[in-house]
Chains A and B, each alone.
Chain A
Amino acid sequence: MTTSLKGNWLLILALSLISAPLVIMYGFQLIDSVSRPAPGGIIPQEWELTNWRFLWERIDSARPSIWRVTLNTFVFASATALLVCAFSITAAYALSRLNFPARRFFLAGLIMLHAFPTITLIIAIFIVLQFLGLYDSLIGVILVKAALELPFGIWIMKGFYDSVPWEIEMAGVQDGASRFRVWRELILPQVKPGLSALLIFSFLAGWSEFILPLVLAPGADAQVLATYMNAVIADDTRPDYGLFKAIGMFYALPVIAVYLLFQKRLMNIYGGGTKG
């Protein structure tokens, strides 16, 4: 239905204008990480890689090495993602397809938790972690992050289960298979796309998480890239946008890679309604 070319050009112009700030930020994010601008200016003077020095040396002798921090972040994000997925596929199936007492109650609870002021609970969460002996450990933050992501994960997976035709299940049950076997052999393959989308989504959510590790795991052993980067920025004796941006670039690379690979699936899951 693209009839008027002129109209399209106007549209593109308008869109470009309003997108300009974002594009400028992305562009300079890239440029500034590998160059040095003139003092007080924005035009790059020299191309150089010194901003990336954090990769091969400690920028401050007290900071953990970037590789350690990256490993932590990776472990944190993937463990969170796996937990969310593992718990969501079963719980969502139960809520979507199985009939059991108090199902309505659980569903209503799920919807309520879905939009809950999670972060304001942090002191109380601390007490629980402390009680379990998991304060200041990566495992503790992983569990908390996974638990807080669960309502969303279950909600999304329930959506995917809901769209699986009932006929598949009926056929299985009529063939005499147990509900468990039906789930494992017939239904699970149907929701695979949803599962991988949720996996990617939870991974990204874990990768970006800032406040939970900041408060619940302040020790050096559990630093993640978000807290590392923020600490570098907060250290007011050496603010250096080139360095910040290089670290930011390093931090964002996996995100961009994931985006390029799984664009479609991501758009799908974000369309499913998420925290805004």
Chain B
Amino acid sequence: MKQMTCALALVSAMAATPALAEDITITVWAGGSNDSDHYRIDNIKIAANLLSREAAIRGEELNITVEGKRDFDGWDGFKQAVTLGAEAGNAPNIVVTSHLDIAPWASAGYIVPVEDYVDLDAWPLNNVYSNLMEIAAFDGMQWGVPQDAESRPFFFWKEAMKKLGYTDDDMDAMAARVEAGEYTLRDMLADAKKAVDMGLVEEGYGFYPRVSNGPDYAQFYQSFGGELMDPETGKLVFDRTAMTEMYQFFVDAVEAGVTRKNHIGTEWDQWYSEVASGKAAFWHGGTWHYGRYTGKEGNDDFFGTIGFTLIPAGNEAGRANTITHPLVYLVTDQEDDRAEEIAAQLVAIASEPRLNTLHAIESSHLAIGKAEAALDLYAGDRWASEATEVLLPHANAQPNHPSYGAFSEAMFKGLEAAWTGVQTPEEAVAEVEAQLTATLGDELIIR
């Protein structure tokens, strides 16, 4: 009802208002962003410039001031700031955040659907990959627009592989073999063990996973046949067998001396420098790591030293997969409907292929739309092109469910308990199950 009256009011307002100078300030908060991600904010500034020019041609004077902020105390600080700010009625107009926030924030009324203000069938939004658009939708509404795409590949160090007996051709074919399920996590574990035994890498460096919680670990759950959400009912799924086998896999890796027992909590700085310099045989990361490996860590020959594939399947039940965790532009609920409208339009303009490519290449992310591949800047970047080709078609996302955060947190805490040997995988799974049953209740299907 509210939307309708607003829309009607707008229509009548439009007919009546003469050309008046309009000044509006749009604030943009970007979470999890560092220097190389500055286009998350700058693209909105460019968009504001374009929108003002368009207005000027129509004979309207529209002055948009864009204020950006991205120096938050990690994701926690950012989310606290946005939610508490929204409660206090001074939320920023546009937020750049994980798509997982859509469900809780929509249900709390902090954000408004972009589809209220922009035409999804028009350029540039009709150019955005539909599976990415899907990720920014919830409950049948388009809440946000993907800001970037990425994917979380599996990496291997080519020199170590060569010494293990893989030829260059073998390594080139690796991505296809992983995709077909011919090379599994268990094969990888065996290779990693060999690499440690042969002294190619130090003990604990055969398989060198991510050091903190993140979407990455849901990939391994999927590798062992786990499913995150039941498409029929929209409920979250806790697959006991898959979870146990996934925990067991990491426990086995520790027992084989391939992965360190205290690996979780390693400094990121140290982790990056180690994987970029070949201290580890196998690891997994994100497509944006390319920028870090070749930049700060000084790996000049990325393609000569590092190979990448999907996350291999773990067993028969599972599949090779990768999770994409796109950040999305969301428009927050404001008293002033006009601010919401301008914000949504800015978001749409910032999704122009040219603008988005600036961000994609600068920060080693992937394109959000088809047309970007045709731009020189994008096509000229070998990493962006290859990663798009190998990974993006197989990428799925974590479900937009209000309780997914609790699910993901519990899954990782259980993994950590098993990994560090505090509990056996079975005990850990049982505890996670008990906790999730208690907290999610009806919203969880146990398999």
Contact = CB atoms under 8 A, between A and B. Distances in A.
Q: Do chains A and B touch in the complex (CB under 8 A)?
A: yes
Contacts of B269: 236, 238-240
**Interface residues of B toward A: which range?**
20 to 34
Interface in B35-87: 35-36, 38, 68-74, 77, 80-81, 84-85, 87
Nearest to A227: B73
Interface stretch (A23-31, A178-186, A211-219): A211-219
Contacts of B292: 237
Interface stretch (A10-18, A56-64, A149-157, A160-168): A56-64
A42 to B, nearest CB: 15
A61 B80 contact: no
Contact of A60 (B71, B77, B80, B90): B71
A240 B87 CA distance: 36
A201 to B, nearest CB: 27
Interface in B5-42: 33-36, 38
Interface residues of A, number: 25
A174 B325 CA distance: 79
A219 B269 CA distance: 27
A138 B296 CA distance: 37
Nearest to A213: B73
Contacts of A175: none
B427 to A, nearest CB: 30
Nearest to B30: A62
Contact of A218 (B34, B70, B84): B84
A46 interface: no
Given A60-B35, A61-B35, A237 B296 contact: yes
Interface in B171-203: none
Nearest to B267: A239
Given A130-B84, A215-B84, A236-B269, 6 more contacts: A61-B38, A62-B71, A63-B71, A135-B84, A227-B73, A230-B73
Sorted from nearest, which 7 A-B pairs have the closest CB atoms?
A: A218-B81, A236-B268, A239-B269, A135-B88, A234-B74, A62-B71, A62-B70
15 contacts: A60-B35, A60-B71, A62-B71, A130-B84, A135-B85, A136-B81, A136-B85, A214-B77, A214-B80, A218-B77, A220-B71, A223-B71, A231-B77, A237-B35, A237-B36
Interface of A: 60-64, 126, 130, 135-136, 214-215, 218-220, 223, 227, 230-231, 234-240
